[in-house]
Amino acid sequence: TPSTITPGAPCPSIIHLKRDHHLALAVKSTPTEGPPPILQTRFGEFPHASFAGIPYGSQVRARTTPKTANAGRKRKRAAVAADSSSSPSTPAAESGGDKAEEAGAAGSGFVHVLAPTAELWTASLPHRTQVVYTPDSSYILHQLGVRPGSVIIEAGAGSGSFTHAAVRAAYSGYPDGRELEEGEKPRASRFGKVWSFEFHEERAGKLKEEIAAHGLDGLVQITHQDVCKNGFLVPGEEPVSPKANAVFLDLPAPWLAVPHLTRSAPPSTDPTTPISFISPLDPNTATRICCFSPCMEQVTRTVASLRAHGWTSITMLELQHRRLEVRRQQARGYSEGASARTLSEALSRLVTVNALRDARRDDQLAQNKQEKASGKLAQLLDENKETYHSKQGPRKETDPDEGRLVTRNEAELKTHTSYLTFATLPRAWSKEDEEAAMREVQKIS
């Protein structure tokens, strides 16, 4: 990602409106003719030109126009009317009509413009399908052991959310650690790659365009293919094997794709016809797999298929993502260590009740005692008044280290939870491998 925003570049910038509201915006150059491109949001209007050349992370203020007397009402209308998409300015806005006034009313708003990352792309991408969200994708990539240099098979690609997380994790840059020059494309390298399969033609095409726009060509290869029917080799003059060491299946029927993820050909029913078989897996490493399925019936069928095809260490879990808001609860009322005020209130009530009860019991002393009790009561109330007011005082600044730590669940974070089934296919181990290993051992000893 370059450090500043270049209008006309195909890669989108991320417009941060609120913590859970982002837009992906390909900043356009201002045309010589016609209306300038303007981003309209509920926080105001932002000409694309206001993003040009500024560093990522900048705050950008909405375009201001003179406010009108009934700005408040119009601000409301503007917030409802403004959609969250980028569009050329309307003729009304151009002519300074009603719309321009509305924009002026919302003109005190601002947004932040951020560099595109895999996480922000997940938060802002156009949804063509259900997508894998960051809490799941980060855990999956960690469990698959993906690191710079890993080769990943992914099916189906869907909206490309997991694709972006995966390529970021597998991308190893250059072996010498050199940074990319401005405008230089990452090399199609053997140092980390995502082989992505999608059988829906339009989705595959759209994702290809996005991958190219994001400068990820060569690092991600999209193939339009039904993996349950045709497996994971990429068609060409000669079928190409991804030689993957990690596999992620987000499919409705992963158990139909698992039989293609083997190291050797299935036993032939006709021994006279030899089967030509190329494995899509890296022969020199163990392969980890994750199948992402929303219901238990799918999980059990997938587990059965994994077992039947030699996968081991099968585990299944579900991620339950909760964001907890942690804060200090300031001391208040009886629950927090009986303040001076609450103690003296309790004491005064006790004394009064006792005095009145005694007075009722002893008729002879009733008069005296009642007088005494009311005197006592008046005195206590007086004291309490003082304590009460001195305790009330001016409100103290909240001390961040004072009070009890409490947590509460924040409003739901967007996640599409599924069951995650993980397994490992050990690497193939031949007689020759064993002999080579023994030679190594002898060399060391």
Q: Smallest distance, Å, CB 118 to ligand SAM?
A: 11
Closest-approach residue to ligand SAM (CB): 156
Q: Smallest distance, Å, CB 208 to ligand SAM?
A: 14
Under the binding rule (CB under 6 A), the answer on residue 199 touching ligand SAM is: yes
Under the binding rule (CB under 6 A), the answer on residue 161 touching ligand SAM is: yes
Find, among 87, 110, 5, 95, the residue nearest to 38 by Cα.
87
Under the binding rule (CB under 6 A), the answer on residue 168 touching ligand SAM is: no
Neighbours of 63 (CB within 10 A): 21
- Rounded to 5 degrees, what are φ and ψ at 67? -80, 155
Beta bridge partners of 317: 420
Q: Using the structure block, give the residue that is written with the tokens 């947004």.
A: 111
Window contacting ligand SAM (CB under 6 A); options: 65-73, 193-201, 231-239, 433-441? 193-201
Q: Smallest distance, Å, CB 328 to ligand SAM?
A: 38
Q: Smallest distance, Å, CB 263 to ligand SAM?
A: 21
Window contacting ligand SAM (CB under 6 A); options: 143-151, 249-257, 376-384, 403-411? 249-257
Q: Smallest distance, Å, CB 276 to ligand SAM?
A: 22
Under the binding rule (CB under 6 A), the answer on residue 155 touching ligand SAM is: yes
Find, among 374, 232, 346, the residue nearest to 289 by Cα.
232
The smaller minimum CB distance to ligand SAM, of residues 93 and 204, is found at 204
Window contacting ligand SAM (CB under 6 A); options: 154-162, 270-278, 381-389, 433-441? 154-162
Q: Which of 203, 206, 214, 243 binds ligand SAM (CB under 6 A)?
A: 203
Under the binding rule (CB under 6 A), the answer on residue 228 touching ligand SAM is: yes
Distance CA 292, CA 194 (A): 17
Residue 262 near residue 279, CB atoms below 8 Å: yes
Under the binding rule (CB under 6 A), the answer on residue 252 touching ligand SAM is: yes
Q: Which of 226, 300, 301, 388 binds ligand SAM (CB under 6 A)?
A: 226
Under the binding rule (CB under 6 A), the answer on residue 242 touching ligand SAM is: no
CB burial of residue 66 (10 Å; 0-12, 13-18, 19+): exposed
Tokens of 208: 């290809």
Residue 430 exposure: Cα atoms within 13 Å on the Cβ side: 7
The smaller minimum CB distance to ligand SAM, of residues 39 and 132, is found at 132
Q: Smallest distance, Å, CB 307 to ligand SAM?
A: 21
Q: How far is CA 60 from CA 90, 93, 113, in A?
A: 21, 20, 7
- Rounded to 5 degrees, what are φ and ψ at 281? -105, 155
Residue 136 exposure: Cα atoms within 13 Å on the Cβ side: 29
Residues of this chain, 119-138, that bind ligand SAM according to CB under 6 A: 129-132
Q: Smallest distance, Å, CB 214 to ligand SAM?
A: 14
Residue 51 near residue 27, CB atoms below 8 Å: yes
Q: Which of 101, 119, 198, 210 binds ligand SAM (CB under 6 A)?
A: 198
What 3-state class would DSSP assign to 217?
Answer: strand
Distance CA 130, CA 248 (A): 15
With residues binned 3-state (H G I as helix, E B as strand, rest as coil), the percentages for the chain, rounded to 5, are 35, 20, 45
Q: Smallest distance, Å, CB 133 to ligand SAM?
A: 8
Under the binding rule (CB under 6 A), the answer on residue 227 touching ligand SAM is: yes
Under the binding rule (CB under 6 A), the answer on residue 258 touching ligand SAM is: no
Q: Using the structure block, give the residue that is written with the tokens 């059965």.
A: 304
Under the binding rule (CB under 6 A), the answer on residue 158 touching ligand SAM is: yes
Name the residues that contact ligand SAM, by CB under 6 A.
129-132, 155-156, 158-162, 197-200, 203, 226-228, 250-252
